[in-house]
Amino acid sequence: MAKRTNQKTNPRLTHLIATLKDTARENDAKVWRAIAQNLESPSRNYAEVNIGKINRYAQDGETILVPGKVLGSGVLNQKVSVAALTFSESAVSKITGLDGSCMTIEELIQANPKGSGVRILR
């Protein structure tokens, strides 16, 4: 039987968590610290957010951060920028179909190191 550890084995994820913690410390941005803590938890606890939920809670032109996967169920009526670990193909087509943007969390950190104006959906 395999030995269980609490360490992440995905190198992208471990690098992302370290980057989030460093950015939070350098810019005094609590949003990045909260996302790092969320991503340190087991992957079965990661968020799976549908497009319909983004449509309900986001304002037009807002930046949404999902610490997990964005799924394509539902309808999107507004232009939003969404950052997440991963996206389903249908979610990407619905978001970009309204001139919104899909980006990785790493890209969002580069664009907005202070984390201002970011709404987290779980």
pTM: 0.91
Sequence-ordered list of residues with C-beta below 8 angstroms from that of 47, at least 6 positions apart, any chain = 38, 66, 67, 68, 69, 121, 122
Sequence-ordered list of residues with C-beta below 8 angstroms from that of 33, at least 6 positions apart, any chain = 20, 21, 24
CA 19/CA 47 separation, integer angstroms: 20
Sequence-ordered list of residues with C-beta below 8 angstroms from that of 107, at least 6 positions apart, any chain = 83
Strands 47-50 and 63-71: parallel
- pLDDT tens per residue across all 122 residues of the chain: 666 667 889 999 999 999 999 999 999 999 999 999 999 999 999 999 999 999 999 999 999 999 999 999 999 999 999 999 999 999 999 999 999 999 999 999 999 999 999 999 99
Structural domains of the chain, with CATH = 11-120 (3.100.10.10)
